[in-house]
Amino acid sequence: MVLKQLQRMGAATIHTIAGLGRAGLMLLGAIIGKPSFRKGAPLLLKQLYVVGVLSLLIIVVSGLFIGMVLALQGYTVLVKFGAEQMLGPLVALSLLRELGPVVTALLFAGRAGSALTAEIGLMKATEQLSSMEMMAVDPLRRIIAPRFWAGVISMPLLAIIFTAVGILGGHLVGVDWLGVDAGGYWSAMQANVDLYQDVFNGIIKSIVFAFIVMWIALHKGFDAIPTSEGISRATTETVVTASLAVLAFDFILTALMFGG
């Protein structure tokens, strides 16, 4: 009985570590090596379109609404203290430091990550990956690498757009609807937001999240059991694991950047 329990625990540990190892090998195989821009650029461009441009709409719309909700909620609290001038910093700092990178990463995991997992899982199920290997084309370099880099490039850009649109949305509600002074909104924001401390740290966060989300999505697809059930499970796992990993890393990064 005890032995059986012990065996199960050991098997789970070995399984986890083997998965991590496979994920690491996949990433190494994909990103390490001589880059060939002539062959890589069109592939990367295609993926930038699929992963970045097609995610733009959901990012812009949710950024706008999150900024508007932040302004509305912040205003109702701040007005009790007569501090509605601080609405600008409230909206800008919460978007720049937290909501911009994190919500973008979560949306990105749902919008692009799940699609990538399903795509690669299906490629594996239909043995496209094996046939590529037969033709001496490395699927890691041909399939994984462009998708990975496209995600890592486009997610920070999406987070920046999200934040900017959110701040404009906050302006829309705070200034145009609730009547906070426009000059105060911007000047209090400028007095409290620092380019290095807030803007750059937010972008760094976003790059880290992009790494995590893309790595998990690609690995789950590459490692999926090549059946329809396996692909569906891999897609679910991508969204769940990537979201949890993003939130956990967000806490660590926040503690490192703003905790001290």
Partner 1 sequence: MSTRKIEILVGLFVAIAVGAFLILALKVANTGFAGSGDTYTLYAEFENIGGLKARSPIKVGGVVVGRVAAIELDKNYYTPRVRLEISRQYDNFPETSSVVILTSGLLGEQYLGIQPGFIDETVHILKDGDMIEDTRSAMVLEELIGQFLFNRD
Binding of partner 1 by 49 (CB under 8 A): yes
Q: Which of 32, 53, 244, 256 binds partner 1 (CB under 8 A)?
A: 53
In whole angstroms, the minimum distance from the beta carbon of 224 to partner 1 comes to 27
Angstrom distance (rounded) from CA 89 to CA 198: 11
Give the span between the Cα atoms of 147 and 46, in whole angstroms. Answer: 9
Range list of H helices, 48-99: 56-78, 87-93
- From candidates 132, 142, 181, 186, binder to partner 1 by CB under 8 A: 186
Complex with partner 1: residue 198 or 223, whichever CB lies closer:
198
Give the CA count within 13 Å in the CB-facing half-sphere of 198. 20
**DSSP structure class, residue 197:** I
CB of 35 to partner 1, least distance (A): 19
**Contact with partner 1 (CB under 8 A) among 68, 78, 92, 210:** 92
Tell whether residue 189 is a contact of partner 1 (CB under 8 A): yes
Taking CB under 8 A as the binding criterion, the range among 72-80, 108-116, 150-158, 223-231 that sits at the site for partner 1 is 150-158
Give yes or no for a contact between 147 and 214, defined as CB atoms under 8 angstroms apart: yes
Instruction: State in angstroms the smallest separation of the CB of 252 from partner 1.
Output: 24
| Residue tagged 């001038």 (tokens) | 85
Which is closer to partner 1, CB of 43 or CB of 125? 43
Q: How far apart are CA 252 and CA 259, in angstroms?
A: 9
